[in-house]
C-alpha cells in the first residue's frame, strides 16, 4: 500500500498525559470504556499508560491491549531498562504494540534534571531505543522539552535515535513555551537537516501553558510533522494538552492545508461528555468545538444574522461534531427576530405590533431573570392576554 503523505496520524494521550491531572484518575474498567470509544472515534494510537508507575497503570495497559484491535496501543517509559521491561510485558496482548521512550533534550533538563551532559544523554537515548527495539518493532522516541532545546543538538539526537530504530520521533513542547512560528521552524529544521528523517514520522506534542498548544500543533503539521498528540477536551498537566477535537476540526475546516485524519468527528461531543463525567473535570462553556456555548448565539446582531442564514455565524455545523443543535439563547441582548423565532417554535404567531409590545415585556423580564426559557415565554404570553 502506498503511504499517503497527507495523512495525519492521531495519537490520543487522554489516558496517560490527561489522566495525570489531579482528581482525574480512572479505574481500569473506566479506561477500557474510554479506549473503546477512542477506537470508534478512529484514533490511530492510544497511549494507555505508564506501566512502571503503578500496578494499576500496568494492568490498564494489559486490559486495554486486550480490549481494542485497530489502534496501536502505546506504553510510556523513561529511558531505562526497568521501565522498558515493564512496558514490554504490559503490551504482550496488544495487536499493534508501541513503546514510547525518551529523555530530556534541553540544556535545562540535561543539567538541572539529569545532572548530566549532552553526550551522556545522547548515549542513553540511543541505548533506550535499541533496548526497546529488541522486543517491539514500533518505537516512538520523545525528546522531552524539545521546545526549549538547542535545535542543532535536537537534530543530532533525532538522527541518532532513528538510526537506532525509532519509527516515530516526538518533539514535545513540554512546557508550552514556543510561539507557533518558532515551533514550526523547529520541525522544518529537523525535516531539512536530519539525514534519515524519511525513515520516521515526526510527531507534535504540545502543552497549553500560553494557550498555544493547538496553534503550535498546526504549525508543526504545516512544516512536515504527520502525527499529532493530544487529549479530548484538552485535559492534561497544568493548562493541559492540545485538544484533539480542535486540531481535527481545523484540518477539516481549512482543507487548503491538504491534510486529513481518519477521525469520525461526529463522535466528538458524546466522547467529550463521557470524559467530562468520568474524569470529573468540567468543560469550560466557551471551549472550542465541545463547550456548551460553542454553538449558542446570544447577541441580537448575531441571532438576526444566524436566522437569516446560519453560515453568517457558523463555520462548523454542530451536527459535524455530534453537538445536539445550535441554540438561540434569549437574554436582554437578544433582538425581536430571536424572540419571534422562539415564540413561533412554541406555537405563538404575533403580528408586528403585538411582537413589539411583547418584546418590551420580554426585555423587562430578561433584565431581571438574565436568561429566558420556554416556561418564561409561556408565562409572558399569559401575562399579555391578562394585560390586554
Ligand atoms: O510533555 C511531554 O514531554 C510528555 C512526554 C512524556 C512525551 O508528555
Ligand atoms: Zn506531555
Quickly list DSSP for 303-356. HHHHHH-GGGS-SS-GGGGT-S--EE-BSTT--HHHHHHHHHHTT----HHHHH
Give the C-alpha separation, 150 to 218, whole Å: 21
Distance 69 CA to ligand 2 centre (A): 25
Helix, strand, coil % over all residues of the chain, rounded to 5: 50, 15, 35
Quick one: which atom of ligand 1 is closest to the CA of 76?
6
Question: Class of the 9-278 domain?
Answer: alpha beta
Test site for ligand 1: of 207, 216, 239, most ligand atoms within 8 A of the Cβ: 207
Q: Which residues of the chain have pLDDT under 50?
A: none
Quick one: which atom of ligand 1 is closest to the CA of 207?
1
Domain segments of the chain as ranges: 9-278, 296-387
Distance 175 CA to ligand 2 centre (A): 8
Q: For the chain, give the mean pLDDT.
A: 96
Distance 172 CA to ligand 1 centre (A): 6
Distance 363 CA to ligand 2 centre (A): 48
Distance 49 CA to ligand 1 centre (A): 12
Residue of 41, 40, 32, 4 whose CA lies nearest to 244: 41
Dihedral angle of Cα 10, 15, 20, 23, to the nearest 10 degrees: 130
Residue of 124, 100, 192 whose CA lies nearest to 155: 192
Ligand number nearest to the C-alpha of 235? 2
Tens of pLDDT along 46-93?
A: 999 999 999 999 999 999 999 999 999 999 999 999 999 999 999 999
Distance 251 CA to ligand 1 centre (A): 23
Quick one: which atom of ligand 1 is closest to the CA of 241?
1
**Of all protein residues, whose CA lies closest to atom 7 belonging to ligand 1?**
142
First CA to last CA distance, the chain: 75
Give the C-alpha separation, 383 to 379, whole Å: 6
Ligand 1 pocket by Cβ (under 6 Å): 17, 142, 144, 170, 172, 174, 205, 207
Give the C-alpha separation, 88 to 372, whole Å: 57
Whole-structure pTM over 0.75, yes or no?
yes
**Grid cell of 364 as nine digits:** 423587562
Tell me, what's the pLDDT at 2? 58
**Of all protein residues, whose CA lies closest to atom 1 belonging to ligand 1?**
174
Tell me, what's the pLDDT at 371? 84
Distance 100 CA to ligand 1 centre (A): 10
Quick one: which atom of ligand 1 is closest to the CA of 170?
7
Test site for ligand 1: of 17, 168, 227, most ligand atoms within 8 A of the Cβ: 17
Ligand number nearest to the C-alpha of 47? 1
Amino acid at each position: 500500500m502506498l503511504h499517503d503523505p497527507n495523512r495525519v496520524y492521531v495519537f490520543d494521550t487522554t489516558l496517560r498525559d490527561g489522566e495525570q491531572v489531579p482528581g482525574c484518575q480512572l479505574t481500569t474498567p473506566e479506561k477500557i470504556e474510554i479506549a473503546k470509544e477512542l477506537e470508534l472515534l478512529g484514533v490511530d494510537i492510544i497511549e494507555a499508560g505508564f506501566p512502571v508507575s503503578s500496578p494499576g497503570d500496568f494492568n490498564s495497559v494489559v486490559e486495554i491491549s486486550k480490549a481494542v484491535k485497530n489502534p496501536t496501543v502505546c506504553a510510556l517509559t523513561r529511558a531505562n531498562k526497568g521501565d522498558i521491561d515493564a512496558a514490554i510485558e504490559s503490551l504482550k496482548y496488544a495487536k499493534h504494540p508501541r513503546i514510547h521512550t525518551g529523555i530530556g533534550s534541553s540544556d535545562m533538563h540535561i543539567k538541572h534534571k539529569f545532572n548530566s551532559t549532552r553526550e551522556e544523554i545522547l548515549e542513553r537515548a540511543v541505548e533506550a531505543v535499541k533496548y526497546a527495539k529488541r522486543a517491539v518493532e514500533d518505537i516512538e522516541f520523545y525528546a522531552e522539552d524539545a521546545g526549549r532545546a538547542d535545535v542543532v543538538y535536537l537534530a543530532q539526537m533525532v538522527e541518532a535515535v532513528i538510526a537506532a530504530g525509532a519509527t516515530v520521533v516526538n518533539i514535545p513542547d513540554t512546557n508550552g513555551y514556543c510561539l507557533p512560528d518558532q515551533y514550526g521552524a523547529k520541525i522544518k529544521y529537523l525535516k531539512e537537516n536530519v539525514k534519515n528523517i524519511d525513515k520516521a514520522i515526526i510527531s507534535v506534542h504540545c502543552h497549553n501553558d500560553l494557550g498555544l498548544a493547538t496553534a503550535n500543533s498546526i504549525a508543526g503539521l504545516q512544516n512536515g510533522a504527520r502525527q499529532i498528540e493530544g487529549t479530548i477536551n484538552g485535559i492534561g498537566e497544568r493548562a493541559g494538552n492540545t485538544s484533539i477535537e480542535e486540531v481535527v476540526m481545523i484540518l477539516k475546516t481549512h482543507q487548503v492545508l491538504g491534510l486529513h485524519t481518519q477521525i469520525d468527528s461526529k463522535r466528538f461531543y458524546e466522547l467529550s461528555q463521557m470524559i467530562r463525567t468520568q474524569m470529573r473535570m468540567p468543560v469550560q462553556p466557551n471551549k472550542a468545538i465541545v463547550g456548551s456555548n460553542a454553538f449558542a448565539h446570544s447577541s441580537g446582531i448575531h441571532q438576526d444574522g444566524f436566522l437569516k442564514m446560519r453560515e453568517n455565524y457558523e463555520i462548523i455545523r454542530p451536527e459535524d461534531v455530534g453537538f445536539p443543535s445550535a441554540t438561540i439563547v434569549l437574554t436582554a441582548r437578544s433582538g425581536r427576530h430571536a424572540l419571534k423565532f422562539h415564540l413561533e417554535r412554541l406555537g405563538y404567531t404575533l403580528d408586528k405590533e403585538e411582537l413589539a409590545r411583547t418584546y418590551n415585556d420580554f426585555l423587562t423580564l430578561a433584565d431581571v431573570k438574565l436568561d429566558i426559557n420556554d416556561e418564561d415565554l409561556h408565562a409572558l404570553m399569559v401575562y399579555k392576554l391578562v394585560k390586554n
